[in-house]
Chain A
Amino acid sequence: MTVQTEQTKQTEQQHFERTIGHEQRIEPRDWMPDGYRRTLVRQIAQHAHSEIIGMQPEGTWLASAPSLRRKAILVAKVQDEAGHGIYLYSAAETLGVDRQDLTEQLIDRRQKYSSIFNYPTLSYADVGTIGWLVDGAAICNQVPLCRSSYGPYARAMIRVCKEESFHQRQGFELLMTMMTGTDEQRAMVQESVDRWWWPSLMMFGPPDDASPNSAQSMAWGIKRHSNDELRQRFVDMSVPQAEVLGVTLPDPELAWNEERGHYDFGEPDWDELSRVIRGEGACNDERVARRTQAHEDGEWVRAAAAAYAQKQAHPVVEERTA
């Protein structure tokens, strides 16, 4: 009996590895190693939480957008972030977890979200910079995830990436508009870029030699490129864009390296990243508190809708008890 179970497991393991090896997708009801499932749940949940928390920094500027056009764009963008969160929670749920549990884990701080959203949005230019740099970095991270080995995750990422392109372009256009404005507006853009550049580089995670889970994630095809590879790609993309925009990037070591065919750049402050991940960033408490409040404020709505649905489904029973 035990021998047979062991054999079955081995066959399943082989089938799993063959599927990954052939660049085919693993689907929800397939057998998968516990570690694969755990890693996916952690990564997808963290990603979903990032989208949901990511509504806050820009949401702050909704009421003070300078024109109706800008306000409509920002509303659409923030709404997209909510949608992205839901695509991703939906993908996570195919792994046997529950969205409500994930939300509770975010609120209890047992699960994390991207460190970038713990920085404050101090000026309206930050809306543009977030679109250009933060969403630009997110695109670098996410495009390869469209080929992730787990089917529902890859499909969710395809939807996300399609919409992310609008986010980046509206941000760049916003900054470009400000750059053609007054000296004061140009200074606002530069100040904003100075604050967001380094945190954007940190979005790719710690350097490869300090990223313990990366190798396994790559072997499983969950991740496609290392943190440092993606960071380099982002720097190479951003430098010429900064030139078009007419802003400087706050890194004295930034220089084209002919030999490597890439830009050299300075080392981000990894201690700062650790601190922000540990919960000591400028806005960690505020972000989680706001999410918790939204969850609690919405509770009566969820309950009322559920009660209404139950009443509609069982009207006769309701009458009898009355």
Chain B
Amino acid sequence: MSLETAGDVKAEWPPYEVFVRSKRGLNHVHVGSIHAADDEMALRHARDVYTRRNEGVSIWVVPSASITASSPDEKDSFFEPSGDKIYRHPTFYDVAEDVPHM
């Protein structure tokens, strides 16, 4: 394979997930992924690929392998605890129309 390299070092660069804060006051949002040999390079590649037109003021990169995600297979059971607790929503409560500031 042409992608193998000398010795036991593999040239394959691992994937990183990229999160960008588009402006102050907003959360970082996932925008995609890139490949890089290390964290520092991941940050530079993320800048070059995802912020060529001032799309961001801050970037996070995270090795894709470090992300733990909920499984779509268990979506019903996993999120079920919040499904039946309608009293957690303000609309659950009847309040007379004429109560001010509520």
A residues adjacent to B (C-beta < 8 A): 27, 29-31, 76, 79-80, 83, 86-87, 90-91, 93, 99-100, 104, 152, 155-156, 159, 163, 295-296, 299, 302-303, 305-310, 312-313
Contacts and interface: CB of A to CB of B under 8 A. Distances in A.
Judged by DSSP, the binding face of B is: loop
Interface stretch (B28-36, B82-90, B93-101): B28-36
Given A29-B71, A90-B32, A93-B33, A313 B15 contact: no
Contacts, number: 71
26 contacts: A76-B52, A87-B49, A90-B34, A93-B33, A152-B32, A155-B32, A156-B32, A159-B31, A295-B2, A299-B3, A302-B37, A303-B6, A303-B9, A305-B13, A305-B38, A306-B5, A306-B9, A306-B10, A306-B13, A306-B37, A307-B7, A308-B37, A308-B38, A310-B9, A312-B38, A313-B38
Contacts of A76: 52
A284 B2 CA distance: 22
A28 B41 CA distance: 26
Given A79-B52, A308-B37, 10 more contacts: A27-B72, A29-B72, A83-B48, A83-B49, A87-B49, A90-B33, A305-B37, A305-B38, A305-B41, A309-B38
Given A100-B3, A303-B6, A29 B11 contact: no
A91 B17 CA distance: 12
B53 to A, nearest CB: 8
B72 A30 contact: yes
Contacts of B37: 302, 305-306, 308-309
